[in-house]
Amino acid sequence: MLESAEKKSKEMQEKMFEYESTEDFQTRLAKLEYIKSVGVEPYPHKFFVSHTFQEIIEKYEGKEIGDSEKASSGDTPEVSISGRLVLFRAMGKNAFAQIQSENFRMQIMLNRDQSKVTGYEPPSEDSPEHPKSGLKFIEKKVDLGDIIGIKGHLFYTHKGELTLYAKEITLLCKSLLPLPDKHSGLVDKEVRYRKRWLDLISSPDVYNTFFLRSKIVRLVRSCCEEENFLEVETPIIQNIYGGANADPFVTHLNALNKQEMFLRIALEISLKKLLVGGIPRLFEIGKVFRNEGIDRTHNPEFTMLEAYASYWDYNDMMRFQEKIFSTIAKELFGTEKVPYASADGQEITLDFTSPWPRLTMKESIIKHASIDVDKLSDKELKKLVLEKCSIDPKTVIHSTRGMLIANIFEHFVEEHLIQPVHIIDHPIETTPLCKTHRKPDGSPGEIVERFESFIMGSEMSNAYSELNDPIKQKELLENQVDRKELGDQETHPLDEEFIESICQGMPPAGGIGIGIDRLVMLFTNQHTIREVIYFPLMKPKGS
């Protein structure tokens, strides 16, 4: 048995990855061995960087700093920078290169007599085996994709390009695989998403999208903090799931005899327990997981903002959401009227100016589908849904009136909601966690103080006047259990601990959930969620 394990381990160690047999890998590996043999460290521990590229541009762009002669003699500003070599052109005793860092590139000039390589001593006599200058060492032994550090002096070329005259070059990382072709770049979407590091290196636009993602998240957090929300963290692994209509991912906890556990499908339940605990306003930005389909706007793992404020209602949350979107628009574009190109190339100006229009769900169905659901019987609603909506007939048979109305809205209305709009006052059956409306419209069935906001036909948020009546809460969750037994697998299980917490008193509150990924899609003009997630879920390679 031991021999078998040792044999398997040895076989794994000897196994070559596919790329290791390529000519590119073997050529670079030979260069690496040479670099080591002449005493140059190809992977040093540290390098001092005095300025980022952006800092250099901001400080010296357009300033009179001198030409290459002054840089050669050390009479221009000295800087130390680092980045990935992406272009190299030898020109006799000089060479010009470009290095890339973050989303910027800078031109470098190397000189045969003055540019030295850290750790390399050129031979005293001509030798075919060893480069005779630092410039030749870079030309022969350093490849595109290698990361280098450069210390030197800035100057402007005759064409007015800010350039660094390289006095000392330090190899910081010898790369063993080439970059994508510089002309075609990465065009295979599967490769782009699976090997996002290459996508970021190859495309400034991709880098900019993720830079903006970070900025958008900071702005969301800033808006929450301005309204005195406390940021909290709640468990991802839970022994019961709730807060949304979705299928969970199931796992097991070995420490508790393989007890069944779930990845959270929402942040809601834990956050409400903290409201009971006395935190008046709180928010969390975190990952949630739903075992559902993958499409243009859905990834099973995604990022949510959920925020709750004691003594607010859904009207306050509409104002708060409008503030978030308006802040992002003004920070990124300098205006609340933002240009947007739809997937079919149509140019649209999205207007985030407050207040946004509000339509009840029933009003939106009348406006966009010319259907007055209050004039249809339950039987007529079911017939309409069965004929026009892609819903499992078994589900339709057991659907309540409110769920049928929600199905009709989703099928007939959502795609028409282009400009920012709040769809308010939903059927009570759509959520067990929301207060009933203070002013019912008198139509069949109850409605709740819930809104969803839509932009470009996509749901951007979900918000409630939160239910804090423990008796009503228990009744509604029990109704969800009944629906689950009838075949609706995306309903909530009964969470006794949550009901217990509500029994100890949760203040009236408004709550909201905003999908961060869709928010980023909107403000970076991307039409698929995969473009704004660093590593979207992919099928195993080769499957």
Q: Which helix (H) or strand (E) holds 380?
A: helix 378-388
- pLDDT (average), residues 204-227: 97
Q: What is the pLDDT of residues 415-424, one digit of tens each?
A: 999 999 999 9
Please, which pLDDT band fits residue 398 given cuts at 50, 70 and 90? Answer: confident
CA atoms within 13 A on the CB side of 288: 30
Quickly state the pLDDT bin for 397 (edges 50, 70, 90): confident
The rounded distance, in Å, linking the Cα atoms of 236 and 207 is 29
Q: Which of 184-198, 270-284, 464-478 has the highest mean pLDDT?
A: 270-284
- Positive/negative CA dihedral, 385, 386, 390, 392: positive
What angle is formed at CA 109 by the lines to CA 106 and CA 111, rounded to 5 degrees? 160
CATH superfamily of 18-179: Nucleic acid-binding proteins (2.40.50.140)
**For the whole model, what pTM was predicted?**
0.90
Residue 433: closest CA among 398, 489, 483, 474? 474
Annotated domain spans of the chain: 18-179, 267-290+301-357+419-531
Higher pLDDT, 312 or 440: 312
Q: Which band of pLDDT confidence, cut at 50, 70 and 90, is reported for residue 329?
A: very high
Residue 505, Cβ neighbours under 10 Å: how many?
11
Say what the alpha-carbon torsion angle 223, 224, 227, 232 is, to the nearest 10 degrees: -160
Element (H, E) at 203: none
Does the pLDDT at position 70 exceed 90?
yes
Give the per-residue pLDDT at 246: 87
**Beta-carbon-side half-sphere exposure of residue 203 (alpha carbons within 13 Å):** 20
Nearest alpha carbon to residue 169 among 117, 97, 112: 117
CATH homologous superfamily, domain 267-290+301-357+419-531: Bira Bifunctional Protein; Domain 2 (3.30.930.10)
Model pLDDT, residue 521: 98
Here the tokens at position 395 are: 């589900």
pLDDT at residue 475, as a whole number? 87
How many percent of the chain have pLDDT more than 90?
A: 76
